[in-house]
Structure 1
Amino acid sequence: MSFVRTLRQATAADHEMVDAHYGGFALDRQADYRSFLTAHARALPAVERALAEASDLPPWRSRTALLAADLHALDAPIPAPLPFQPGAAAERWGALYVIEGSRLGGQLLARSVPAGLPSAYLAAHHLPGEWRRLLTTLDTHAAGQGQAWQDAALAGARACFALYARAAAIA
């Protein structure tokens, strides 16, 4: 079984928990949408900051500026990010998997945002082939590592999901 498949299966409950936390926001209502984006702003910048410190990750594109611009357009302050400090380098790979997977979900959610509300963050999609390349790179990299690396990557993904859940619970 590929590591990506293992990662997806092992974090399915974590993903469902985050979906449940964010499912209560009605993105077609400005106040809820603002709260949704504020919750994301408590998590994404912290994760992206941790990823930017890693030199062994495949290329990825930050969405923090898009999120900040959408919040600014809604006259919403940018909250302080929650702490996120992955220990092992492998944990950053797991976190990257989560935030890049959320880019896919964001595209679906962007359809719920009415015209007139800013949606640059949610509408930020993968470039052609980008998601598939990331998954292939993750599988290839994981295959060359030991079980401890794979366990750490899984722990990083779970920590990232937990961060998003905590961020939503504050909103």
Structure 2
Amino acid sequence: MTAVQKLRASTAPDHDIVDAAFGGFDLADRRDYTAFLIAHARALPAVEAAMAGIAGLPATPARTALLADDLAALGVPMPPPLPFAIGPAAAWGALYVAEGSRLGGIMLAGRVGQGLPAAYLSARHGTGAWRVLLAAIDAAVLGEDAIAAAVAGARATFALYAAAAGVAPDDGPTRPGR
């Protein structure tokens, strides 16, 4: 198995938890959509900031500013991000999750209510960029120790998103403020 295949297989349960947590938001409803964006704003900026300090990661377009713009259009300031730190080997897993969420966002963008801002969810990869990113992960994450570190980084990133969405360990998904 490649590093990406091991990342995908090893973190499938974590991915399912985050999908379930964020899947409960009605993106056509202004209030729910705002809560969805606030939850993302508690996670994404922390992940992007942590990855920015890691040498050797491929450059990817940041989405924090798009998220801040969407929240501003809804009249909401950016919330403080949750704490998050990642080491160089684990950062590859964080990158996998953060850029995978970009793909998920494209699928969700069509569910955003008419008239609501959707720049954050509409931010796509360039043509072929996802495949290039996966190839970069496979080329950089070599050996069982590196794969284990990347898996730990991916799990930490999924856990951050779950916490931002109000998922408590062993409690299942809950939505903040509800």
TM-score range, shorter chain: over 0.9
TM-score scaled to structure 1, two decimals?
Answer: 0.96
Distance in 1 (CA, whole Å) between partners of 2:39 and 2:59 is 25
> 1:16 is aligned with what amino acid?
D
Q: Alpha-carbon deviation of 1:114?
A: 2.0
Please show how residues 10-159 of structure 1 align to structure 2 within 5 Å.
Answer: 10-86=10-86, 88-143=87-142, 146-159=143-156
Distance in 2 (CA, whole Å) between partners of 1:66 and 1:59 is 17
Q: Deviations for 1:74-129, whole angstroms, at most 9, x for unmatched residues?
A: 0012110000011x301111000001000000001000012210000000001001
Q: Deviations for 1:52-83, whole angstroms, at most 9, x for unmatched residues?
A: 10111012110000000000000012110000
Distance in 2 (CA, whole Å) between partners of 1:96 and 1:61 is 12
TM-score scaled to structure 2, two decimals?
Answer: 0.92
Distance in 2 (CA, whole Å) between partners of 1:163 and 1:91 is 14
Distance in 1 (CA, whole Å) between partners of 2:136 and 2:119 is 27
Distance in 1 (CA, whole Å) between partners of 2:138 and 2:74 is 39
Identity of aligned residues (%): 57
Runs of 4+ in structure 1 displaced over 2 angstroms? none
Q: Alpha-carbon deviation of 1:136?
A: 0.5
5+ residue gaps, structure 1, are none
- Hey, which of these two has a bigger chunk of helix by percent? 1
Distance in 1 (CA, whole Å) between partners of 2:21 and 2:104 is 14
| Aligned residue number for residue 163 of structure 2 | 166
- RMSD (CA atoms): 0.9
Aligned residues: 168
| Aligned residue number for residue 6 of structure 1 | 6
Match of 1:36, SS state, is helix
